[in-house]
């Protein structure tokens, strides 16, 4: 940021906007579905409609496409210092990553819950803890009130 003093304002505005967005989404979902809402979004869609099938297919394809992009495993290639043109090695590493992940997912009980926990944990780290650490880093030189430090550590 060009002006470090605006960090608190930006953090407050982004938190309020996210909270309003989640609240409106929850309110609209309750107004649409009421008490009969299902845990999976796709179960709430009307059956037998073309747009329902399209939505379900997009819901299935989206994570698969993202996983294929993430399975490129650039970190593993860098670790083993593979040459830039080593296409065969890249494909082999990607396949090993995909097969090993599928093997772990099929053998470890409740793997989906574990991955959900990891995703939630990282989300909290990115949205709550990391901004607080940035605040501490930015304002450390100017001096931070004890009340602010207490609020951040209790948060």
**Chain segment 99-139, per-residue pLDDT in tens:** 887 888 888 888 888 888 888 888 888 888 888 888 777 77
Q: What is the pLDDT of residues 48-58, one digit of tens each?
A: 889 888 988 88
Query: Mean pLDDT across the chain, nearest whole number?
Result: 79
The candidate with the shortest Cα–Cα distance to 22, out of 123, 132, 133, 134, is: 123
CA dihedral 3, 154, 21, 43 (to 10 degrees): 140
Distances (CA, A) of 68 to 74, 99, 147: 12, 12, 46
Whether pLDDT at 46 is above 90: no
Could you give the CA distance from residue 133 to residue 146 in angstroms, rounded to a whole number?
A: 15
What's the whole-model pTM score?
0.41
């Amino acid at each position: 940021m060009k002006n470090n003093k605006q960090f608190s304002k930006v953090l407050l505005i982004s938190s309020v906007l996210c909270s309003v967005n989640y609240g409106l989404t929850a309110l609209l979902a309750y107004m649409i579905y009421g008490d009969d809402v299902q845990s999976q979004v796709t179960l709430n869609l009307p059956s037998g409609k073309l747009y329902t099938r399209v939505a379900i297919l997009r819901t299935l394809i989206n994570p698969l496409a993202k996983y294929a992009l993430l399975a490129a495993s650039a970190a593993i290639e860098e670790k083993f210092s593979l040459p830039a043109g080593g296409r065969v090695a890249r494909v082999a590493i990607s396949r090993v990553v995909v097969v090993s992940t599928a093997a772990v997912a099929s053998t470890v009980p409740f793997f989906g819950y574990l991955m959900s926990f990891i995703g939630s944990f990282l989300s909290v780290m990115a949205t709550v803890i990391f901004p607080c650490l940035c605040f501490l880093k930015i304002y450390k030189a100017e001096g931070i009130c004890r009340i602010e430090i207490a609020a951040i550590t209790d948060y």
